[in-house]
Amino acid sequence: MKSTRIVLASRPVGMPQQENFRTETVELDGPKPGEALLQTLYLSLDPYMRGRMSDAPSYAPPVEVNGTMVGGTVSRVLESTDPAVRPGDIVLGQAGWQTHSVENVKALRKLDPDVAPITTALGVLGMPGLTAYTGLINIGRPQPGETVVVAAATGPVGATVGQVAKIKGARAVGIAGGPEKVALLRERFGFDAAIDHRAPDFAEQLAAATPDGIDVYFENVGGAVFDAVLPRLNQFARVPVCGLIANYNNTDLPPGPDRLPLLMSAILRRSLTVRGFIVTEFWDQAAEFVPAAAQWIAEGKLAYLEDVVEGLDHAVEAFQGLLTGRNLGKLVIKVAD
């Protein structure tokens, strides 16, 4: 079996470019005992992949130069040496940016297409959804009547954060880029207020949308958005730090005065909790999250949106769009029917 794959040809400086990647075709060995041969159907594209392209210290090892780009995948089993999965089964795995792969069966999770569309295993019912739920519940701890603000709110993490906050009785305020996304927050995801961070009066709009301040700020962006949020944080506010996509392509420290003293002073004076997290530390909570989220979807309390791009050959361009906010909802590459 031959597999077409996209490998990291060189480490990007700033925005990843086409020349940082190479497409190649390789011959796969057949599955050994305990393995399965898979055909990739859908590939998830996520912001964390930018960090994996760098060799800077991080929470996960970098992709090696000339190595296949990492990524969550939904695949069809073609051959299997383990009765736990059989040919024709649909499974969730980590095949990365390639059309076919051989994976350890123990690393796969069978999906039931009759329960939910299989793409949801890469989004609202997968890692992004679990990230939103665990970060909000364990660190944000929203209480009824509180105000929860989330950046990048139309993405799979942000949209889930806002809707779970409302399920828990809080008020949800979403921040997104552009009128189309702002409208989605109100009309599709049911946020109580939605603000365009590109608006010239963004800070003033945020203040008007949070008259009682902000109790929980779920950070996905950083940069100028956080600058506007910081003065609005209430006493004992909680800030789960999930991502900083505004900074991922930076090659130098941001210009301007050193604002670290201002942040540290706010943390001290207002007794703020600012805590970074990686979803893997809460991985065991998937057992409670997935059935709860599936039930919320069935009840119409949890909506989701997917942005499906056809063809593995469009993965690099689509990923560039993800880093600049072009996607609407969870970005997925359709690799095969």
Note whether residue 114 is domain-resident.
yes
96 and 177 assigned to the same domain: no
68 and 131 assigned to the same domain: no
Instruction: Kindly state the DSSP code that residue 279 receives in the 8-state scheme.
Output: G
In this predicted structure, the answer to whether residue 142 has a pLDDT above a threshold of 90 is: yes
Note whether residue 249 is domain-resident.
yes
274 and 131 assigned to the same domain: yes
Note whether residue 293 is domain-resident.
no
Is residue 163 within 8 A of residue 231, CB to CB? The reply is: no
Our measurement of the distance from residue 48's CA atom to the centroid of its chain's CA atoms, rounded to an integer in Å, reads 8
194-230 confidence digits (pLDDT tens): 999 999 999 999 999 999 999 999 999 998 999 999 9
271-309 confidence digits (pLDDT tens): 999 999 999 999 999 999 999 999 999 999 999 999 999
CATH number for the domain including 24? Answer: 3.90.180.10
For 327, phi and psi rounded to 5 degrees? -75, 155
Stretch 17-32: mean pLDDT: 96
CATH number for the domain including 196? Answer: 3.40.50.720
pLDDT value at position 96?
97
Note whether residue 292 is domain-resident.
no
Note whether residue 300 is domain-resident.
no
In this predicted structure, the answer to whether residue 252 has a pLDDT above a threshold of 90 is: no
251 and 176 assigned to the same domain: yes
Give the count of domains, the chain: 2
Is residue 146 within 8 A of residue 216, CB to CB? The reply is: yes
84 and 111 assigned to the same domain: yes
Note whether residue 216 is domain-resident.
yes
pTM (2 d.p.): 0.91
Provide the domain limits for residue 40: 2-122+305-334
Strand partners, 158: none
pLDDT value at position 199?
96
152 and 262 assigned to the same domain: yes
pLDDT value at position 269?
97
Instruction: Please state, rounded to an integer, the average pLDDT across all residues of the chain.
Output: 95
